[in-house]
Structure 1
Amino acid sequence: MSHDRSLATPAFPDDDGSLDPVLAAAFDEFDSAGDPTAVLGALCTVRVIVPVIALLGETPTEGDKDADMAAVFMTGADGRKALLAFSSLDAMHAWDPRARPVPIFAHDAARAALDEDAGALLIDLGGAHFTVVETEDLGHLAAGHRLVQSAAGAAWVTS
């Protein structure tokens, strides 16, 4: 009997976890102009890294600890929940060297945040380029819309 099994092709086969050049340029533009539009626009097309950490379970088995892996959500003082994501492995490891990386498109991370009733996506928490994507921007990013510059300013467009 023959079983034709295959694994899905990785979305990021050559990814070494470095900061995406498109996002790096957007961070530079933000640093010089103070306008987050470039960063939001870059997030429409780039990969981010969602950290996954081990949570010890309640029923250890003989010789082993029971652990579950979970994405990291934070809850603000106002009660709002946010999903953590990082622009690179270095940024994630600066936050927690034990976290495991899950590379994912930023729009998929935004969708995951909304699926878990979070109101924000936090990029590079504690880093030099800490970015919060929330409210309407989070919804547009999750929907796969693109942020473009026009004569009237930045605008979200559908594909």
Structure 2
Amino acid sequence: MSRELPGHIRALLDAAGGPADSAGIPWAGRDLAGSVPATAEHAGDDGLADTAVTAALDALRAGRAGEDAVVDALRDARIFVPLVASVAGHAHVGSDSGPDGASTDASADGEHAAVSDKEADLSLVTVAAPDGRTALPVFTSVDALRAWHPDARPIPTWAPRAALAAAAEDAQLMVLDPGADLSFVVRRPALWSLAQQRPWAPSYTDPAVAAAARGATVSEAAVRRVGCAAGRGVASVARDGTEIAGGGPGPELCIELTLRAGLDRRDLDATVRRIQERLAADPVFADGVDSIELRIVAAPA
């Protein structure tokens, strides 16, 4: 489900100067004059993956930890965002010398045109997720980034700043190491928690989300039971085909409704619609859940 940026995220963006990190590196489309100054805090960066993030991803793959461990490791991690050259904002067309040493004007077909590298724009890369939403790709290491896009410029930054950059770009997702052996999708609630450097709990383990789901059904006489579990979209698949219990793009939460037997289609549809409307209006649920699937079970007669 798409959500407007909450006020506290917007305030963080305003405090950080809008769509740029605290070092002033722009996140979208600004002319960087062909170079990006390294921030002092990342000077001499070795370009290697953060060991805590790597350990959390390994633990997730082995089934020893959940998605929250990866997001928790990212809160203090340096990652890399890719910048790529876009169409030059101010192309400088020079002139070449002719065979006799005389200057000749650039031809109309651009044969003698020289575009200054200093005028090339570098822009933050965003990609489309399978569901059409905007996602920001980020990388644990320079090697992972260059394997994905060899011409992209790796910019080191802290993961919470990258999360703010994603919010500035209206991205609902952040994808860690796309195209690598194991990619990990940071979904919207985790992304917003990361931007605030706050702990995050997956919606399918969050008691507050479960309570909101129960509250949305309490007035429905047809509902016998409501349960929350991880959705099918939580799982991801590594390049070698191994299924990983986390890192998928969603749907992340499965709500199982056990309804009394004998409901006709009209009553069933009306019941489900009312529940969905209440869930969408509940701020705890709306902020804590990225996407859901409903599973309807008929109670024994």
Same topology, TM > 0.5: yes
Listed as ranges, the matches of 1:32-71 within 5 Å are 32-33=62-63, 35-57=66-88, 60-62=91-93, 63-64=114-115, 66-71=119-124
The reply on whether 1:25 has 2:25 as its aligned counterpart is no
For each residue in 1:81-116, what CA deviation from the matched residue of structure 2 results, as whole angstroms up to 9, or x when unmatched? 111100001100110111111101111101110111
Give the C-alpha shift of residue 48 in structure 1: 0.7
Provide structure 2 residue ranges, at least 5 long, that are not aligned to the other structure.
Answer: 1-36, 94-113, 208-301
SS of 2:122's equivalent in the other structure is: strand
Q: CA separation in 2, counterparts of 1:147 and 1:19? A: 22
Partner of 2:168: 115
Partner of 1:3: none
The TM-score normalised by the length of structure 2 is 0.44
Partner of 1:124: 177
Choose from 141, 159, 162 the match for 1:88. 141
Higher relative contact order (CA 8 A, sep 6+): 1
For each residue in 1:59-90, what CA deviation from the matched residue of structure 2 results, as whole angstroms up to 9, or x when unmatched? 63212155210011012343311111000011
Note closer, same or farther for the CA distance 1:57–1:132 as it changes in structure 2 (3 Å cut): same
Note closer, same or farther for the CA distance 1:59–1:15 as it changes in structure 2 (3 Å cut): closer
The TM-score normalised by the length of structure 1 is 0.81
Give the partner amino acid of 1:98. D
Give the partner amino acid of 1:20. D
Give the C-alpha shift of residue 146 in structure 1: 2.9
SS of 1:117's equivalent in the other structure is: coil
Q: CA separation in 1, counterparts of 2:59 and 2:206? A: 16
Moved >6 Å (runs of 4+): none
Partner of 2:233: none
Give the C-alpha shift of residue 43 in structure 1: 0.7
Give the C-alpha shift of residue 17 in structure 1: 0.5
Give the partner amino acid of 2:185. V
Q: CA separation in 1, counterparts of 2:134 and 2:57? A: 24
Higher strand share: 1
Whether the 8 Å contact between 1:44 and 1:147 is mirrored in structure 2 is no
Give the partner amino acid of 2:170. D
Give the C-alpha shift of residue 53 in structure 1: 0.5
Higher helix share: 2
Note closer, same or farther for the CA distance 1:9–1:78 as it changes in structure 2 (3 Å cut): closer
Q: CA separation in 2, counterparts of 1:17 and 1:23? A: 14
Whether the 8 Å contact between 1:92 and 1:124 is mirrored in structure 2 is yes
Whether the 8 Å contact between 2:190 and 2:200 is mirrored in structure 1 is no
Give the partner amino acid of 1:72. V
Note closer, same or farther for the CA distance 1:56–1:116 as it changes in structure 2 (3 Å cut): same
Aligned residues: 146
The reply on whether 1:134 has 2:187 as its aligned counterpart is yes
Give the partner amino acid of 2:41. A
Q: Identity of counterpart residues, as a percentage?
A: 35
Give the partner amino acid of 1:45. D
Give the C-alpha shift of residue 144 in structure 1: 1.4
Whether the 8 Å contact between 1:50 and 1:86 is mirrored in structure 2 is yes
Query: What's the Cα RMSD here?
Result: 2.6
| Greater mean deviation of Cα atoms: 72-81 or 120-129 | 72-81
Give the partner amino acid of 2:140. S
